[in-house]
Amino acid sequence: MDAFFEEGSLVAILTTQPLDRTLDYKAPAGGCFQGAYVEVPLGPRKIMGVVWGPGKGDFDISRVRSVNRVLDVTPMQGELRDFLCRAGDYTLTPMSAMLRLATRAPGLSEAPSLRKIYRLGIGEPDRMTDPRRRVLEVLRDMGGLSLTLGELAEAAGVTSSVIKGLVKQGAVSEEEAPRDTAFARLDPDYGGKALTDDQETAAQVLRAAIASGRYGTTLLKGVTGSGKTEVYLEAVAATLRKGRQALVLLPEIALTAEFLTRVEARFGARPAEWHSGVTMTERRRVWKQVSQGGAQLVVGARSALFLPFRDLGLTIVDEEHDTSYKQEEGVLYNARDMAVLRASIGAGQVVLASATPSLESWANADAGKYRRLSLTSRFGASVMPEMRAIDMRGQDLPSNRWVSPALAAQVRARLEQGEQAMLFINRRGYAPVTICRACGHQVGCPHCDARMVEHRFLQRLVCHQCGETTPKPAACPECHAEDKLAAVGPGVERLAEEAAELFPEARLAVLSSDLFGSARALKDEIEKIARGGADIIIGTQLVAKGHNFPLLTLVGVIDSDLGLQGSDLRAAERTFQLMRQVAGRAGRAEKPGTALMQTYQPEHPVIRAILSGDEENFWKAEAEERRAAGMPPYGRLAAVILSSTEAQEAFDLGNAMARQDAPLRKIGAQIYGPAPAPIARVRGRHRVRLLVKAAKGVALQPALSAWAAQFRLRGELRMAIDIDPQSFF
Ligand code: ADP
Ligand code: ZN
């Protein structure tokens, strides 16, 4: 049970202020429970905090102030407090930052009240104008959901008077509604499908795991289209029947819409949604309802993991290998690992679903830490696509052309049969390099150690590191020669240009994250394509993730070798996953699919593993290599990135850290570096990296803390510690 503190007794309050300690206050009139959200005075301000425990009593008691008031929200449970502490310890994040993660909803301190909401009315406007049409379109897109005046005005890009005008005519209805209402109840028996034997066996295991009421993690592996989603929705159903809550994490907002439709078909109502595209009002509602049990299922992005669930019984991490689960800015955490941590504290189950698991999860399953379930065949008539290499050494291609004659012939064959083809290249923009043919200068970002990428659609050069953009210059910035700048190498936009020349009669759709203004626009385009609104889909990484294109029977990978070039620890693993995922897009309906991979190194072991589909052997070989090198998941890594406006300053600190390594030596860890980080300058800051490598069982984080604590960060210096780094930039 949570402790209760009588009025006037000392309590420790955790706030979101960047202090590395709790602050003592006196409990307010009526007392307060541990975990209560409170408002406290701090200097002249009032700030929000959480009653973390008894006061420390190390502050002059005559100066200790009282808590102003206890907020009208459900207190934070011990389970979430523990989780925040342990996640903070693991990622070496101050508790104030952890609390910020857990309170990312606005207006929590406001009292429940009524507000005006707007939804589609039944009347017709007397006269249709563009602004009016936009308002009605936004509301139509929302289905039955309502918005506040401000949200609607912003989404439609109109002034509030336009909306008020529509209200007068009955085309938009205005209602008083209580804030933060509960979500519609989900019915676990509403629309289940009859499962295949394979699927049923897997579902049984998950149902039993949920019935146990204990912690457990399951790796649910199965090729794209094998019914993993159907199976884990059964686990969600079992969780709901037990009166517990479930969370489904998806790697990409663009996947949410399709998924919500599936949930509605399965459970008869829509679940709560949590991601960056959700309005502030809705966020607050989700946050509150999750804490009260008025939201049974949340579908969302990684940060949903920090919501105050009343009783989280099941977390699904779909596409668990996806790199976007690792947050790379601010608090550096991996949502997949944190999901497992939270479940282990709260007696929950975790399902990690993937066609191509991360080596970490594969190894955990191999070691018996995770349960392993496999679905081996695709559902129904569809079979895995046939995969073949196109050896580019034998293809006749003019320079600045990337679609080989062999691939082009296959695409034509599909077009003739009225089927869809996809051309995949994992590069945004038009061309990765802009070079001056007079002096050889490559146009770089002024703030980063990175090349500027031409985006012809935007008619600009863009830095993919910091977002800096400039119009494409007419003259070389270095030698000032006119009209000598040339685009080198392919990007998705350039590939689209080539496809338009090769297949003039075909309808092309280009899917790249930066070509769409909003998640909604992207979703609309994806739906249009799925219905047959395009003949050739040209896309980046974005198309590899989970979208269903039933008419698609051919996938052509333009550059299969691209991911293998880096020195990244995970280059092989990533390429394997990405290629299998992309290939898995083909032939998801009755017609069989083919995946063709253009490569200059068909003999490369990774390419061969991808083609043969011999996954177990690929994982085993990859695991062996990592084990021999003591690399994750068989050893531990932490990256320390030091940055400053002065390169020397960062290097000096790096050298000092490498010398004063006693705390790390105690645990037998090794330090590599300091070295310039692979991208040595980002946003004008010079970056220096140290890598710390340790054996698996040692207490790495306390040693890292003790080590880092020896150094003061003066002036412009910053230090970020990344535990289990995923990207090595
Ligand atoms: P995965 O998540 O493994 O990619 P899905 O669960 O999305 O696979 O299943 C692929 C397709 O097959 C979906 O359209 C799904 O509705 C359908 N499907 C899978 N299993 C069944 C089943 N037992 N009965 C009917 N349809 C199914
Ligand atoms: Zn830049």
Q: Residue 125's pLDDT is what?
A: 87
As a whole number of angstroms, the longest Cα–Cα distance in the chain is 85
Confidence tier at 465 by pLDDT (50, 70, 90): confident
> What is the DSSP secondary-structure string of 140-207?
HHTTT--B-HHHHHHHHT--HHHHHHHHHTTSEEEEEEESSPPPPPP-TTSSPPPPPHHHHHHHHHHH
Q: How far is the CA of 165 from the centre of ligand 1 (A)?
A: 46
Please calculate the CA angle 143-190-277 and round it to the nearest 5 degrees: 35
Q: How far is the CA of 226 from the centre of ligand 1 (A)?
A: 6
Can you tell me which atom of ligand 1 is nearest the CA of 196? 23
Q: Residue 631's pLDDT is what?
A: 87
Can you tell me which atom of ligand 1 is nearest the CA of 382? 12
Q: Residue 144's pLDDT is what?
A: 66
The secondary element (H helix, E strand) that includes residue 455 is: strand 452-455
Q: What whole-number distance in Å separates Cα of residue 461 and Cα of residue 284? A: 39
Find the mean pLDDT for residues 130-134.
Answer: 92
Residue nearest to atom 11 of ligand 1 (CA): 225
> What is the DSSP secondary-structure string of 242-289?
TT-EEEEE-S-GGGHHHHHHHHHHHHSS--EEESTTS-HHHHHHHHHH
Phi first, then psi: what are they for 175, rounded to 5°?
-135, 155
Q: Residue 100's pLDDT is what?
A: 94
Q: How far is the CA of 574 from the centre of ligand 2 (A)?
A: 25
Q: Residue 143's pLDDT is what?
A: 64
User: Across all residues in the chain, what is the average pLDDT?
Assistant: 89
Residues 6+ apart with CB under 8 A from 602: 389, 391, 608
State pLDDT tens for residues 223-235: 888 899 999 999 9
Q: How far is the CA of 487 from the centre of ligand 2 (A)?
A: 18
Please tell me which residue, 633 or 581, carries the higher pLDDT value: 633
State pLDDT tens for residues 492-501: 999 999 999 9
Beta bridge pairs of residue 316? 248, 351
User: Would you give the end-to-end CA distance of the chain in angstroms?
Assistant: 45
* Bond from prior residue into 633 cis (ω within 30 degrees of 0): yes
* Helix, coil or strand: residue 231: helix
Q: Residue 458's pLDDT is what?
A: 81
Q: Residue 83's pLDDT is what?
A: 98
CA distances from 244 to 70, 295, 297, 559 (A): 27, 10, 9, 46
Confidence tier at 588 by pLDDT (50, 70, 90): low
With beta carbons less than 8 A apart as the criterion, state whether 488 and 514 touch.
no
Beta bridge pairs of residue 190? none
Residue nearest to atom 20 of ligand 1 (CA): 227
Q: How far is the CA of 680 from the centre of ligand 1 (A)?
A: 45
Pocket probe for ligand 1: among 231, 373, 379, 580, the residue whose CB has the most ligand atoms within 8 Å is: 379
Least confident of 173-182, 256-265, 691-700: 173-182
Find the mean pLDDT for residues 437-441.
Answer: 91
Residue 729: is its pLDDT beyond 60? Answer: no
Contacts 24+ apart (CB under 8 A), 622-628: 622/359, 622/572, 622/573, 622/576, 623/359, 623/362, 623/363, 623/366, 626/359, 626/569
Residue nearest to atom 19 of ligand 1 (CA): 227
Phi-psi region of 98 (alpha: psi -120 to 50; beta: other; left: phi over 0): alpha
Least confident of 36-40, 136-140, 658-662: 136-140
Residue 273: is its pLDDT beyond 80? Answer: yes
Q: How far is the CA of 578 from the centre of ligand 2 (A)?
A: 26
Find the mean pLDDT for residues 452-470.
Answer: 85
Find the mean pLDDT for residues 381-407.
Answer: 87
Q: Residue 385's pLDDT is what?
A: 80
The secondary element (H helix, E strand) that includes residue 723 is: strand 718-723
Find the mean pLDDT for residues 504-514.
Answer: 88
State pLDDT tens for residues 335-362: 999 999 999 999 999 999 998 899 999 9
* Bond from prior residue into 674 cis (ω within 30 degrees of 0): yes
Q: Residue 622's pLDDT is what?
A: 86
> What is the DSSP secondary-structure string of 662-697?
HHHHHTT-EEEEEEEEEEEEETTEEEEEEEEEEETT
Residue ranges with strand state E in 76-137: 114-120
Phi-psi region of 727 (alpha: psi -120 to 50; beta: other; left: phi over 0): beta
Structure tokens belonging to residue 26: 């006196």
Pocket probe for ligand 1: among 197, 199, 221, 229, the residue whose CB has the most ligand atoms within 8 Å is: 229
Residue 567: is its pLDDT beyond 80? Answer: no
Q: Residue 235's pLDDT is what?
A: 97
Q: What whole-number distance in Å separates Cα of residue 263 and Cα of residue 305? A: 19
Find the mean pLDDT for residues 514-521.
Answer: 72
Are β-strands 216-222 and 371-375 bridged in parallel, bridged antiparallel, or unpaired?
parallel
Find the mean pLDDT for residues 659-667.
Answer: 95
Residue nearest to atom 10 of ligand 1 (CA): 225
Structure tokens belonging to residue 510: 């280009």
Residue nearest to atom 26 of ligand 1 (CA): 193
Ligand index nearest the alpha carbon of residue 444: 2
Q: How far is the CA of 227 from the centre of ligand 1 (A)?
A: 4
Residues with CB under 6 A from ligand 1: 193-196, 199, 222, 224-230, 379
Whole-prediction pTM: 0.84
Confidence tier at 530 by pLDDT (50, 70, 90): confident
State pLDDT tens for residues 146-188: 788 888 898 889 998 999 999 998 899 888 877 778 898 999 9
Q: How far is the CA of 433 from the centre of ligand 1 (A)?
A: 42
State pLDDT tens for residues 311-331: 999 999 999 999 889 888 888
* Helix, coil or strand: residue 291: helix
Phi first, then psi: what are they for 598, rounded to 5°?
-75, 125
Q: What whole-number distance in Å separates Cα of residue 577 and Cα of residue 17? A: 41
Task: Give 176: exposed, middle or buried? Use CB within 10 Å, 0-12, 13-18, 19+.
Answer: exposed
Q: Residue 313's pLDDT is what?
A: 97
Ligand index nearest the alpha carbon of residue 445: 2
Pocket probe for ligand 1: among 206, 230, 231, the residue whose CB has the most ligand atoms within 8 Å is: 230
Q: Residue 113's pLDDT is what?
A: 65
Find the mean pLDDT for residues 567-571.
Answer: 72
How large a percentage of the chain has pLDDT more than 90? 54
Residue 687: is its pLDDT beyond 80? Answer: yes
Phi-psi region of 670 (alpha: psi -120 to 50; beta: other; left: phi over 0): beta
Q: How far is the CA of 245 from the centre of ligand 1 (A)?
A: 23
Half-sphere exposure of 194 (CA within 13 A, CB side): 1
Q: How far is the CA of 443 from the centre of ligand 2 (A)?
A: 11
Ligand index nearest the alpha carbon of residue 679: 2
Residue nearest to atom 22 of ligand 1 (CA): 195
Q: Residue 112's pLDDT is what?
A: 63
In 3D, which of 78, 98, 108 has the Cα closest to residue 14? 98
